A and B are shown apart, each in its own frame.
Chain A
Amino acid sequence: MGSMRAGVLGVALASWAVVAVAEVGVDHSAAARARAQASPLHQSARAAGGKLQQRVEARPQTLALGLRALSERSSDVVLVHVLGNHCELSPDGVAPLTRYQALVLRSWKGAAVGETIEISLPVGLVSFEDGTKASRSARGFRALKNDMRYVLFLREADASERGQTPGRRLSGGDGLQGAFGLYNERVYPAYHLDGMNKKDKYRGLPVAKFVRELDGVGRPGRR
């Protein structure tokens, strides 16, 4: 964990737009600094003139169409309250990531109510000691916000994904699909394709209706 944060100034994401900058999780060990300085992301940021902006989008074949499909590929389907987040360099050193801590308020599958879980998203912003910066955002994706509540579809990263996002990640869309914000009794998918392509089925749906649909698909063995 310490080495992953090595020598990088993480930048907190308070929304899809970066609004707050904070130095977090800085590991000042020489080895950590050297790792960050030698990372592919740092080299790319320097080559880009000190400021690198990456823009990604989920590959269509990784998207799930509907809550049932998302649930089937998830080990955890939970309603959470986001407690906090910080950005850091990914373990493979090629991109920023954001780690979120979240408290489980309701569970349909996997993690228990009252459990604090951590998830990683393949977006974020890091600053290196020499002032170079690198950010990664995803088109149509609104980063999760602190103190907001979301229904999350999660699974453990597989071997090919751990270099980008270690631990739990969103189940669909290359780690970008499967977060639904609940605000003022309405549903707001974090990723535009969570609206299931152009139908936008879930955007603005009453929370009670969304939860009823989840009750039907979230639990294993229930239809």
Chain B
Amino acid sequence: MRMRGGLGVLLLLLSMVVPAGAEKAGESLTVAQLRRAGLSLPSYMALPELMTYQEKLPSHQALSLSWGASGTGAFTLVERKQKLAGAPGKSELSLSEVTLVVVAATCSAEVRGLALARLSSESGAFSVKLPDDSRICGVYFLRPVLKGKAPSLTQVGSINLQRAPVKPGKPGAGQ
């Protein structure tokens, strides 16, 4: 017990001197990180406002996606449903090694929607809810790089939604 207690104190002291940029988890997504990845929020909107907007929208679109299935690590759109009732909702903007940042953007790379997913395996399937916004041209998949002083985002894939087949959702359906 005494050993454990001592170790705890040591870890606490170490955490106080480790630079914030070296943290492996708990970093928050920032507008600057998105901008460095080539995506920008409108100047009148910050990330909390984007989340509030996503919470208040009356409808959303749902994307079912798979990744890594062909061994290439690529993302594939399995299904897209639009005009679904209910808001896309907000995401916690905390980044970790297993976070995938999914950004919906216009053709001029203006961010119109954002969702965070957790991908901890090499392949699989997941779905995200995004605003059902006709200005959205595509989605970008970004992975956080948490090493170093300034955490950044690396684009690991994208899908052009303008060419994607669409399945209209049933009116009033939540999913």
Contact = CB atoms under 8 A, between A and B. Distances in A.
B166 interface: no
B57 A103 contact: yes
A9 B58 CA distance: 24
A207 B43 contact: yes
Interface in A159-213: 182, 184-185, 207-208, 211
Nearest to A101: B58
For chain B, which range describes its interface: under 10, 10 to 19, 20 to 34, or 35 or more residues? Answer: 10 to 19
A148 interface: yes
A146 interface: yes
B42 A81 contact: no
B91 interface: no
A22 interface: no
B169 to A, nearest CB: 16
B44 A105 contact: yes
A144 B56 CA distance: 21
A50 to B, nearest CB: 32
Contact of B44 (A116, A147, A182, A184): A182
A105 B51 CA distance: 11
A211 B49 contact: no
B155 to A, nearest CB: 21
A39 B45 CA distance: 45
Contacts of B110: 184
Given A147-B133, A184-B108, A83 B58 contact: yes
Contacts, number: 41
A114 B44 CA distance: 15
Contacts of B49: 105-106, 113
Contacts of A211: 43-44
Interface string B39-72: 0001111000100110111100000000000000
Centre residue among B44, B53, B108 by max chain A CB count within 10 A: B44
B134 interface: yes
B135 A147 contact: yes
A99 interface: no
Contacts of B133: 147
Contact of A103 (B43, B45, B53, B135): B53
Nearest to A214: B44
A121 interface: no
A182 B42 contact: yes
A105 B53 contact: yes
B42 A114 contact: no
Interface of B: 42-45, 49, 52-53, 55-58, 108, 110, 133-135
Given A106-B45, A185-B43, A208-B44, 7 more contacts: A79-B44, A103-B53, A103-B57, A105-B44, A114-B53, A114-B55, A146-B134
Interface of A: 79, 81, 83, 103, 105-106, 113-114, 116, 146-149, 182, 184-185, 207-208, 211
The list of the 8 closest CB pairs from A to B, nearest first, reads A114-B56, A208-B43, A147-B134, A147-B135, A147-B133, A207-B43, A184-B108, A211-B44
18 contacts: A79-B44, A81-B53, A83-B58, A103-B56, A105-B53, A113-B49, A114-B53, A114-B56, A116-B56, A146-B134, A147-B133, A148-B135, A184-B108, A184-B110, A207-B44, A208-B43, A211-B43, A211-B44
